[in-house]
Chain A
Amino acid sequence: MAAKPDLKLLGMSVSPFVIRVRMALHMKGVSHEYIEQDLFNKSELLLESSPVEKKVPVLIHDGKPVCDSPAIVQYIDEVWAATGPPILPADPYERAVARFWTAYVDDKLFPAYVGTAKAATEEERTQQINEMFAVMGQLEEAFAQCSNGKAFFAGDSIGNLDIAVGCNLLLLEVLRSMYGVEFVDTGRTPLLAAWAKRFGETDAAREVVPDVHVAVEYAKKRQAYWAAAAATK
C-alpha cells in the first residue's frame, strides 16, 4: 500500500494560480499539506523553494520544489497519471489546444484583473474593463469550440481548461463586488455563464474556492499596498 506522499503546497487562498493547483490535487484525490503564505511578509520556506520568482504556488514533493502553475498542474497529471481522471486530454492536438487557451487566460485575463484593480484613473479602469470584456468574448468562443455541446471545456467532466478558466471566476466576482461590473453575463456570454454556474457547483470548486469577501479584503489590502508604494516614489 503506497505511503502518503510527502507533499506540501505553499499557497495564498485567493490566488487563482493557487486555486488552480488545489483543484488539480483535488481532481486526483492526492493528500497534501497546505501551507498558507503571507505574501506581504514572505517566509523562508517560500523564498528557498521559489528563489527565482518568489511566488506562490509552489508544490514541494519529497523535498523538491515545482514552481509555475501550468508546470505544476502538468506535473500532478503526470505523477498521478494512474489515479483519478486525466487533467489534460490524451490526444496531442487536444493538449495543444488546452495549453493554448490556458496561456491565453494567463496572458490576458489575470493582467486585465490586476489592471482594473490597480487603475489610477477612471479612464484607465474603463480601458481595462473593456479589455476584460474582450477576453470573456474570446473565451465564450473557445468554450463553444472545445466543449462540443457538453457541460465543460473538457467534455462531460472538468479538465485542465475548466480549472484554468474557473480559478479566475473568484476574481471576476471581486470586480463585480467592487465596481458593479458583471463579466459573466447571460446576455453577452451565455455559454460561459451556464458553465460558470455548473463549475461553481463541482466538488473541486466547493472545496477550494474561498468566499468572495475574503478575496475582496485581500484585493483592498493589495490596492493599499500599491498606493503606498506609488506615494513613496
Chain B
Amino acid sequence: MAGGDDLKLLGAWASPFVTRVKLALNFKGLSFEDVEEDLSNKSELLLSSNPVHKKVPVLVHNGKPICESVIIVQYIDEAFAGIGPALLPSDPYERAIARFWAAYVDDKLVAPWVQSLRAKTEEEKSEGLKQTFAAVETLEGALRECSKGEGYFGGETVGLVDISLGSLLSWLNATEVISGTKIFDPVKTPLLAAWMERFSKLDAAKAALPEVDRVVEFAKKRQAQAAAAAAASETK
C-alpha cells in the first residue's frame, strides 16, 4: 500500500453499515485501524467527524472524514482506483444499475426489516416483514439479471451491490437462529440463498462479518431491553 495512507474506521462491531465498509477495505486489500465506538458515549473524534448525523461508520483518510456507508464504499473504490479489484464496473450503464440496486437494498430491504426488528406491535412487525420479503423477491430477479450467469451481482467478481447486501449476512443468520425465519429462503429465492453461501466463504467476508453467535446475543439483549422499557412505561 502507498506510504502515508492513514485509514481509520470509526465503527461499532454489530452495525452492518460498518461491516459494509470493512468488506470494501478487505476486498481492496487495504489495511486500516478499526476503532470501536461506544455509541452510548460517542467520542470527540466521531462527533467532530460526523457533526451532521453523529453516526458510524466514518472513514477517516489522512485526517479527512467520509460519512455514509455507500458513499464511503464508492470513495474507497475511487481513491484507491489503482489498488485491488474495482468495486464498481467500468461501463457507465452497469454502474448506474449497481447504484440503483445499492440504494434499493437500503431503502426497501433494510428499512422495513429494521422496522420489523424494532416493532412494538405484531401488526408493525408483520408489515415490516411483508415489505422485507417483497424486496427480497425483487432482489432475486436483480441477481439473475446482474450476475449474467456468474456468481455475484458484480458478475464474476464482488461489486457494490454484493457488498451492500453482504454486510447484512450475520444479521440474516441471527434472525434465522432467533425466530426460525429464513430471509433468503432457498426454495423461494434459490439464487440469493446460493449467493449467501458463496459470499460468506470469501476470506474478505469472513474477516469483516461479525460472529453470528455474538449478534444473536446482542439482538436478544436489545429485545429484552425494549420489552423491559415497554413494560416499565405501561406500569406508570
Is A110 an interface residue when CB atoms closer than 8 A count as contact? Answer: no
- Known A78-B95, A93-B64, A100-B68; contact A71-B75, beta-carbon cutoff 8 A: no
Chain B nearest CB, measured from A102 CB (Å): 9
Q: Closest chain A residue to B135 by CB distance?
A: A52
Cα separation A79 to B90 with both chains bound (whole Å): 11
Cross-chain contact B99 with A96 (CB below 8 angstroms): no
Is A10 an interface residue when CB atoms closer than 8 A count as contact? Answer: no
Q: Which of chain B's residues 32-79 have a Cβ closer than 8 Å to chain A?
A: 52, 61, 64, 66-68, 71-72, 74-75, 78-79
Q: Which of chain A's residues 59-75 have a Cβ closer than 8 Å to chain B?
A: 61, 64, 66-68, 70-72, 74-75
Q: Closest chain B residue to A67 by CB distance?
A: B100
- Known A100-B68, A103-B68; contact A92-B75, beta-carbon cutoff 8 A: yes
A75 contacts which of B75, B96, B138 (Cβ < 8 Å)? B96
Chain A nearest CB, measured from B59 CB (Å): 9
Chain A nearest CB, measured from B122 CB (Å): 20
Q: Return chain B residues, CB-CB under 8 Å to A96.
A: 66, 71-72, 74-75
Cα separation A78 to B72 with both chains bound (whole Å): 19
Please report the number of residue pairs spanning A and B whose Cβ atoms sit closer than 8 angstroms: 57
How many chain-A residues does the 8 Å CB contact rule pick out? 22
Cross-chain contact B93 with A61 (CB below 8 angstroms): yes
Cα separation A64 to B97 with both chains bound (whole Å): 11
Is B103 an interface residue when CB atoms closer than 8 A count as contact? Answer: yes
Q: Return chain A residues, CB-CB under 8 Å to B97.
A: 66
Contact with B along A91-126 (1 / 0, CB 8 A): 011011001100110000000000000000000000
Q: Return chain B residues, CB-CB under 8 Å to A157.
A: none
B99 contacts which of A68, A79, A92, A104 (Cβ < 8 Å)? A68
Is A130 an interface residue when CB atoms closer than 8 A count as contact? Answer: no
Q: Return chain A residues, CB-CB under 8 Å to B75.
A: 92-93, 95-96
Q: Return chain A residues, CB-CB under 8 Å to B71.
A: 96, 99-100, 103
The 9 closest A-B CB pairs, nearest first, are: A92-B78, A78-B92, A71-B99, A92-B79, A75-B96, A96-B75, A71-B96, A66-B96, A96-B66
